[in-house]
Structure 1
Amino acid sequence: MRKAGLTASGVALALALTACGGGTVSGTPSTPGVDTGVPVSTGIEQLIASASQKTTDTESAHFTTEVGTFGMAIRMEGRASFDPANPAMAVTMSVPGHGQAEIRLVDDVVYMKTDGMGSADKPWQKVPLDELAEAQGGDISDPTITMMDAGDPTKMLEQIREAGGEIKKTEQTTLDGQQVTQYTIEVDPLEMMDSMGGGIDVDGAELAGLVDSIGVIPMELYLNSEGLPVRIEMHVDFSEAVKEIGARMGEELPADFPTEAFKMSMVMTYEEWGTPVSIEAPPADQVSDAPAF
């Protein structure tokens, strides 16, 4: 397990951004009868394997990801092809106070256009996907890698499986007018971090306090009648963890400490499954190579 030199808030932010999403769901109980192709008594391994395979087979979707974290509302929207042989993605991201960013993945090359990068005549910068991943060392806090993973539900599903998620409840409900199966899953936060590629040393007082205070991470997975993900949702309260870590470090937090800022909301929503996706690289005369990492 690798070590990551993160503060308490850094761990919280990294986990929140990697999960990617935000908001709430209102589910109305409906009568049984939704056939997702997955038995309601299934274990996590079978559930994740089935949903991931159906995602790969269907290949494409439109997705929206909203992250509520540290008082900010971050929104990502895009479309993607999940064909393992030729993945493609186009994502736009809006961050309060930081403007917008646009990222495209085409033919294993990442194209980025963000405020403060590039030039007026060449607003896009490019870097091969493998070079980007190698340069970042799998850093889960890197926003580019975060956005690429946010578009592919199989990434999140695999992280849930690797983290030893446990299905605690299964029920039929409706979501945005369609019948779905809702799976309530609990995940260990430390295992979740490790599955994201950000393995950490648990010996430090910060992380011991974090794990003790968080307990488990509750998640909701919604599958439609075809067994495809339509929403993955997570809500995590890091406020007690931050207080605990502060106390262990001899830094008592003030009475007016904004605990609400450390309550994270994350939702990934998918629709238009199977709709053909056409994503092209930006015009060559508008692209320059990204600076060396």
Structure 2
Amino acid sequence: MPLPGDAAGLVATVGRQVRAARTFHVELVSVGEDGSRLTAGGDARTDTPAPAAQLTITDEGTTYAVLLDGAAYVRDQNAEVEPGRPWARLARSDLTAVAPSGTPDPRAGAQAADLRRMLSTLLDGVDRAFRQITADTGLAIVRAGSVSGKPADERVDGRTAHRFTGETATNAVPGDDEIAALGRAGVAKLPWKLWVDDRGLPLRFTVSLGRRGSLTTTYTRWGAPVTIQAPPANQVASIG
């Protein structure tokens, strides 16, 4: 497949092929300015009306997440939402429902606040990881930037790939609060590299976040069978 040399054309081609492939496996490594690492890995579908993915996110602890039919199922390895129910099914609108019932009790109120914070933190991590593991974040950065020179042919995990190199101004990426925060912190440019195979499918994307760290996403198993299922109902606590 011919690959356009300009950023907008390249993103349009890759985005179309990503949707046509329907499924993929992904591994993400995010390195912070202090050397801390966040990793996320899992499978996703691109042929569903709402996001569909199952992820394992490892930071200071491990979080498991399933996105399916417009709902997020989240599990923290170190905590249960309810006894015997380690999974929470929730959306941000559900967090207001985490409150004690009956006569107000300061201890119950504090426990509810702690639970809201934990669930909100889990949702933040899931949302961030999902934007990053799909091509959304990478393609948004590439679309808003420019390609430098011609692509170079390289091997990525034993496959032929065309490496595109470019740079994007931080303030040119619309609608991304994290990138906007980088701009406010003084990171003006985002140098990136995108490896694309002969089918127009991304194999790897890397972006430097300046002194704030870097992000590397690797894609494999395009089009392979993927089944994404909700956790067993008897293990799920509904917050809403």
Q: Which residue of the other structure, out of 173, 183, 188, is the alignment partner of 2:154?
A: 173
How many angstroms apart in 1 are the aligned matches of 2:156 and 2:179?
35
Contact in 1 for aligned 2:170/2:180 (Cα 8 Å): no
Query: Given the alignment of the two structures, is residue 80 of structure 1 paired with residue 61 of structure 2, yes or no?
Result: no
Rounded Cα–Cα distance in structure 1 between residues aligned with 2:160 and 2:48: 29
> Is the CA contact 2:29–2:217 (under 8 Å) kept in the aligned structure 1?
yes
Q: Is the contact between residue 88 and residue 238 of structure 2 (CA under 8 Å) also seen in structure 1?
A: yes
Matched with 1:113 is 75
Find the counterpart in structure 1 of residue 3 from structure 2: 38
Compute the RMSD of aligned alpha carbons. 2.7
The match for 2:200 among 217, 220, 227 is: 227
Counterpart of 1:195 in 2: which secondary structure?
A: coil
Q: State the secondary structure of the residue aligned to 1:55.
A: helix
Shift, 1:154, TM fit: 3.5
Letter matched to residue 3 of structure 2: V
The amino acid across from 2:49 in the alignment is: A
Q: Pick closer, same or farther for the CA change 1:155–1:84 going to 2, 3 Å.
A: farther
Which residue number corresponds to residue 267 of structure 1?
Answer: 216
For residues 180 and 57 of structure 2, what CA distance do their matches in structure 1 show?
A: 28
* Superposed CA offset, 1:231-255 (max 9, x none): 01012332xxxxxxxxxxxxxxxxx
Is 2:153 aligned against 1:188? Answer: no
Q: String of CA shifts for 1:180-208, please: whole Å, max 9, x gaps.
A: 0000010112223x431468599xxx93x
Partner of 1:122: 85
What per-residue deviation string (whole Å, max 9, x for no partner) do you get for residues 94-153 of structure 1? 11xx32100001111110001334134000001148878xxxxxx9x9212102212211
Distance 1:150 1:172, change over 3 A: same
Whole-angstrom CA distance in 2 between matches of 1:275 and 1:108: 23
Supply the AA of the counterpart residue of 1:158. A
C-alpha deviation, 1:278, in angstroms: 0.3
Please give the per-residue CA displacement for 1:208-265, whole angstroms capped at 9, x wherever unaligned. xx44xx3421100000111100101012332xxxxxxxxxxxxxxxxxxxxxxx4x12
Partner of residue 276, structure 1: 225
Q: 1:86 to 1:189 in 2, by over 3 A?
A: closer
Match of 2:63 among 101, 108, 122: 101
- The number of residues matched between the two structures is 212
Contact 1:109–1:127, Cα closer than 8 Å, also in 2: yes
| TM, length-normalised to structure 2 | 0.79
Sort the Cα spacing of 1:38 and 1:200 in 2 relative to 1 into closer, same or farther, 3 A.
closer
Where 1:53 maps in the other structure, the secondary structure is: helix
SS in 2 for 1:142: helix
1:55 and 2:4 are equivalent in the alignment: no
Percent of counterpart pairs with the same letter? Answer: 22
Distance across 1 between alignment mates of 2:52 and 2:188:
37
In structure 2, the gaps of 5 or more residues are 96-120
Q: Are the counterparts in 2 of residues 55 and 154 from structure 1 also a CA contact under 8 Å?
A: no
How far apart are the structure 1 equivalents of 2:181 and 2:75?
35
Change (3 A) 1:100 1:86: same
Gaps of 5+ in 1: 1-35, 133-138, 239-261
- Cα deviation code 1:58-78 (max 9, x no counterpart): 010000001111221211110
- Match status 1:289 vs 2:238: yes
Distance 2:201 2:73 in 1: 28
SS of 1:118 mapped into structure 2 = coil
State the alpha-carbon separation in 2 of the partners of residues 172 and 102 from structure 1: 36
Matches for 1:159-170 after TM superposition, within 5 Å: 159-161=141-143, 164-169=144-149, 170=151
| 2:130 matches 1:148 | yes
